[in-house]
Structure 1
Amino acid sequence: MARKSRSGGGTPATVALDRAGIAYQARPYQHDPAAPSYGLEAAEALGVEPARVFKTLLVDTDRGLAVGIVPVDTTLDLKAVAAAVGAKKATMADPKTAERTTGYVVGGISPVGQKKALPTVLDDSALSHDTVLVSGGKRGLDLELSPQDLLAVTRGRTGPVARRG
């Protein structure tokens, strides 16, 4: 996979990947503000199965904020993500807190290049794919990279944190 060179207009996510020397492909698409699900919109617009497109969700735990990354056609299992970061319980973080902490807007929160490094858990289903897509740091931009590189750049771990159905 070719690495996209930084030629202005990058996001903190692309800058972080470029700095780390990680190969990725920027996958822009036309974002519809009326879309009911940003993640499913990205999957459809990019012609990628939803199981390969991952959403980034912030949770508030008794140990502080953490990040859960799950396929867009699933929900985050709050008990599982809490256990994965060594917490007793987790709730979804307030959207304003998520934006302030990550430096990104809701619907465009990337797990890469956040303002503050947070404990990060990637659903283990990601490892069954050669590449996955995550938000590139703004609505209408996804980044495609290997799950191993995503784990490396976020210093994340994997776990069964997605709930289907």
Structure 2
Amino acid sequence: MAKKIKTNALRLLDKHRVNYEAKDSTNLKAGDMSDPDASLIHKTLVTRGISNELYVFIIPLSSELDLKKAAKAAGEKKILMLAEKELLPNTGYIKGGCSPIGMKKQYKSFLEASSLSMEQIIVSGGKVNFRVKLKPQDLMQIINAKEFDVIQL
């Protein structure tokens, strides 16, 4: 019998009674356009402002974070990507499995504004090759995120 995956992200979604679909994506490569849900996939990016505060940005996989827009969203003069070695100690997640849901601490989070027009989005489920599909409004409520235009055009 297959082992059922339960991550911190899924536990939190269950606690808040959010409808979601969890799926193992081991056979798919990031950005693989043969995946019918490829356009829904979002990446979770963790940044550090000059104030030393951490910020989380959830943007479509095919987009790039605009650091100037991100700094404006966070109310910082400048913002930089968090070093990979700092990811696990600060979030509890590793690169490729960093979910915006269930981090060690709730950081100020921002969802790309254009994502709100989607019926559902897909984010990491808290483990490499494990994804969660849910409504963007539910994600925003769970992590107390704000919407902001933070991608490069």
Using the size of structure 1 for normalisation, the TM-score is 0.85
Q: Cα distance, 1:9 vs. partner? A: 2.9
Matched, 1:58 2:46: yes
1:17 aligns to 2:6 (yes or no) = no
Unaligned runs of 5+ in 2: none
Q: C-alpha distance in 2, partners of 1:113/1:58?
A: 14
Which amino acid letter does the alignment assign opposite residue 56 of structure 1?
T
The amino acid that maps onto 2:116 is L
> Unaligned 5+ residue runs, structure 1?
1-6
- Output aligned runs, 1:15-164, within 5 Å: 15-31=11-27, 38=30, 40-41=31-32, 44=33, 46-50=35-39, 52-63=40-51, 64-164=53-153
Measured in 1, the distance between the counterparts of 2:101 and 2:34 equals: 22
1:133 is paired with a residue whose SS is: strand
**Contact persistence 2:96–2:129 (CA under 8 A):** no
- Contact 2:92–2:104 (8 Å) recurs in 1: yes
Measure the CA separation in 2 of the matches of 1:10 and 1:62: 35
Distance 1:160 1:87 in 2: 15
**Size of the alignment, in residue pairs?**
150
Runs of 4+ in 1 over 4 A off after TM superposition: none
Counterpart CA distance in 2 for 1:66 and 1:119 is 5
Using the alignment, how far apart are the partners of 1:116 and 1:137 within structure 2? Answer: 14
In 1: Cα distance, 2:90 partner to 2:27 partner: 24
Aligned-pair identity in percent equals 33
The residue type paired with residue 27 of structure 1 is K
